[in-house]
Structure 1
């Protein structure tokens, strides 16, 4: 096992800082990457952060995490959280721990966001703390 934590971001997270800043804040994905890399370094971890708008890429990367022996995966699947049986199956198919992260709190939003297929398969979930949730997830990953 490596000390690498893979951070996977799903659909529309490339638009952080632009998309609905009243919900998701003004921080861009590049800003977030810089901050989580610094946090990971302080925890003795390295980060491999990726983003895709395509479900298949996320599925392939979950498989890759297992094959590469990464310590953990932090996954913000965006809207795929609520729809993707493929991501549920991919998480259940690997031994690598997966920590679900959401910038907003889906339980406090529209009813269709209340069900999380990712959360049903993940080791744990962090939601509603803005992008600080990624740092919380890194701290959890460091303790695994």
Structure 2
């Protein structure tokens, strides 16, 4: 069953049947990045690479999930990864902490000063962190009454 907004494709045209590299060979990496960024930007909630790949086919720019992962990696600071969901959303700056609503799936970033405290605790323990990830799963104000 196709998801909302997806088109039904005839047999033989789905993922794994076409060489999407050949179709996208005419597009520059920057054009493919803009396609992926536009898909991420249009979604009210974070998207995984497989969902982005399906949506790219709807837009007529078929991408394989492994291509999407490489493009997301190149987008660097323009998208943020939600580790808990293995999904991505458009970056609005450096996130402090990310909140994830169990009800609607929306994420928000909080400008929190937790990194200083985590750094202090790590130094006290003799540990040198390379990356700090704070994701809080709960219920947003809109879903709180449900």
TM-score range, shorter chain: under 0.3
- The answer to which structure, 1 or 2, has the higher relative contact order (CA under 8 A, 6+ apart) is 1
Q: Decide which structure has greater helix share.
A: 1
TM-score under structure 1 normalisation? 0.24
